[in-house]
Amino acid sequence: MKTSVLKFAFIMLIAFASCSTDNNDEGTTDNLTASQITELNGIALSGDWVITYFFDTDKEETSNFNGYTFKFNADGTLVASNGTTDVNGTWSITDSNSSDDDSNKDSDVDFNILFASPNNFEDLSDDWDIVSFTSTRIELIDVSGGNGGTDKLVFEIN
């Protein structure tokens, strides 16, 4: 009997350990490890990026950023350039122990972007939740606390 209970407990432990807790109800990454945060930081620094998708609450606005490349710099600066115009901002990845996000289900890891101007770049300013990332793609989401709209932002390596 003791052996059966131990086998059952072992099987249940394996079953629970194999369940993924990577995504919450909004589809964001819940439990990034320190090494995954470091990996994402390195990926962002790895080259020039373009916005391949931007949905702002109720409409798709990707075309606002056509022709711009985005450079995430190690000093926390962010430069969007179309060859003649540079738009300067800042970026960071933060891991907070206290959730200041819109929902208690949101990850405490944020991909922060801040542009003071112009208006269409201000739309990118937010503490984005991380949906997924690879070496060539970073997908972000933000659920607005005010109107409940969902913004989506996708960067791909240029």
How many domains does the structure of the chain reveal?
Answer: 1
Beta-carbon contacts of 60 under 8 Å, excluding residues fewer than 6 positions away, are: 53, 54
Examine residue 9 and state whether it is found in any structural domain, yes or no. no
Q: Write the burial class of residue 83 (CB in 10 Å: 0-12 exposed, 13-18 middle, 19+ buried).
A: exposed
90 part of a folded domain: yes
> What is the per-residue pLDDT across 62-102, written as a single tens digit (0 to 9) for each?
999 999 999 999 999 999 999 999 999 999 999 875 444 44
53 compared with 101, residue with greater pLDDT? 53
Query: What residue numbers bound the domain in which 141 lies?
Result: 23-157
Q: Across the chain, what does the average pLDDT equal?
A: 80
CATH code (residue 145): 2.40.128
pTM for this prediction: 0.75
Domain-located, residue 152: yes
**What pLDDT is recorded for position 62?**
98
